[in-house]
Amino acid sequence: MKYSEATQGRIFIIRLEDGEIFHEVIEGFAREMGIERAFLNVVGGADKASRLVVGPEESRAFPVNPMVHELYDAHEIVGTGTLFPDDGGNPVVHLHMACGREENTVTGCVRSGVKVWHVMEVILVELLNATARRLPDKATGFNLLIP
């Protein structure tokens, strides 16, 4: 285990609107507001054709080949995640979202493009006095959080 400490900064209450792409809007907002690190919580709706990364094709194979699932219709969502800078200082969202419709639920990472269905509500809690960032890891090919 590796860890670091942070303190709570500003708290933003955000409403995303119909058709916006979740991670693109949040990363743009972070750049605009000077937010380097944050915790995110989200509820609302994801539209048809939203795309989630739902796991690797093979559990322990390298290189990792991600599977992508496309939503077949509007889904209710709930998600939680983080925002940390990459090695270029760019804010990067890492958020997993559970998307449900009737008795079906799929959970995955939003990095392939989740489109807002009418509205998503986001609580963004800024993390201050921290140096954590995402850096490339040669062994896995992931951009790993370095606390």
Evaluate whether residue 46 is within a structural domain: yes
Evaluate whether residue 37 is within a structural domain: yes
Instruction: Determine which helix (DSSP H) or strand (DSSP E) holds 25, and give its type and residue range.
Output: helix 22-33
Evaluate whether residue 134 is within a structural domain: no
Structure-token match 């054709």, residue found: 49
Instruction: Report CA-CA distances (Å) from 146 to 83, 85, 135.
Output: 13, 10, 7
Residue 18 — pLDDT band, cuts 50, 70, 90?
very high
Evaluate whether residue 143 is within a structural domain: no
- What is the average pLDDT across 20-39? 98
- What is the average pLDDT across 14-43? 98
Q: Give the angle subtended at the CA of 64 by the CAs of 61 and 70, to the nearest 5°.
A: 125
Domain span including residue 31: 9-129
For 34-82, how does the pLDDT look when each residue is reduced to its tens digit (9 = 90+)? 999 999 999 999 999 999 999 999 998 888 899 999 999 999 999 999 9
**What CATH number did the domain enclosing 93 receive?**
3.30.1330.80
Q: Domain total for the chain?
A: 1
